[in-house]
Amino acid sequence: MHIASSCARWLSRGVAVVAQSGTPGSLLCQVKTGTNEQIEQALAFSTEGKAGVHAELAGHRLEEMEEVSAQENVNPDVIARLKAQFEDQAKQFDEIVARLKAQGNDTAAAHVSAAFNDVIATHEALIAKLTAEASTTSSIGDSVKVDLDDVLESLREHKAHNEEMRASSSEETDMNSDDSSSDGNDETGDSTDGTEDIHMRTGTSVNSEHATSGIRIDTEGAGHVGI
């Protein structure tokens, strides 16, 4: 297993080096997305790790979309493809978060949602700027404008949903903490009541200080106890 993982990581790095010079839509870039990122997903063994990879890859698609949109001649086909790839990564991320919630792992769901929000925060402003510029630039086709609008709307929807997820997880954590504290207090109360009951049945005082304050042992008279 370790040998296979090492080989996969070595291959992943090798493909990444080859693809570094590839621009979005080029053959080298397609090699990167088709091979290198598949390896990266395969190496994410935990559910949280897989969600993190999908959030990261969604960020990569946004970066490429920003790069293409800033070019003088925007290729609408590349924008459409990057939009579809972004939506696919975001959908897979949402499915994993839903699975974590169904398993009762709200903390992990909130954690990965916060990580995706970090990705969104990095790109939302620039995508909004590109969308505004596209709406006033006649050289950019209508399809590109629509795609950028759709991506911006998707980013904002995910941001709101992730914030709700984190807030919900915080509330549930606080409730669980309160329940634990309450249970602890109940157990303490039961113990005190039980102690009082035992003292009542044995005729001794709950206050040990009072129980012994009036007792004197007469060492001269064997077994004699004076009050």
pLDDT in tens, 148-190: 999 999 999 999 988 888 787 777 666 666 665 555 555 544 4
Q: Can you give the pLDDT at residue 30?
A: 65
Backbone angles phi and psi of 36, in degrees to 5? -60, -45
Residue 73, phi-psi category: left (phi > 0), alpha (psi -120 to 50), beta (remainder): beta
The number of residues making up the chain comes to 227
Residue 93 burial (CB count, 10 A): 26
Nearest of 69, 211, 83, 85 to residue 141 by alpha carbon = 69
What does the alpha-carbon distance between residue 165 and residue 5 come to, in Å, rounded to a whole number?
33
| Per-residue 3-state assignment (H helix, E strand, C coil) for 13-27 | HHHHHHHCCCCCCCH
Percent of the chain at pLDDT > 90 equals 37
Residue 104, phi-psi category: left (phi > 0), alpha (psi -120 to 50), beta (remainder): left
179-203 burial: b if 16+ Cβ within 10 Å, else e? eeeeeeeeeeeeeeeeeeeeeeeee
Q: Can you give the pLDDT at residue 54?
A: 93
Residues lower than pLDDT 70 in the chain: 1-34, 172-227
Q: Can you give the pLDDT at residue 136?
A: 83
Helical pair 142-202 and 47-69, crossing angle rounded to 10 deg:
150
Cβ-contact 35, 15 below 8 angstroms = yes
E strands, the chain, are 216-217, 225-226
Q: Can you give the pLDDT at residue 186?
A: 54
Name residues whose C-beta falls within 8 Å of residue 216's C-beta, 6 or more positions apart in sequence: 225, 226, 227
Q: Can you give the pLDDT at residue 201?
A: 41
Q: Can you give the pLDDT at residue 199?
A: 41
Q: Can you give the pLDDT at residue 127?
A: 93
Name residues whose C-beta falls within 8 Å of residue 168's C-beta, 6 or more positions apart in sequence: 106, 110
What does the alpha-carbon distance between residue 134 and residue 83 come to, in Å, rounded to a whole number?
16
Q: Can you give the pLDDT at residue 185?
A: 55
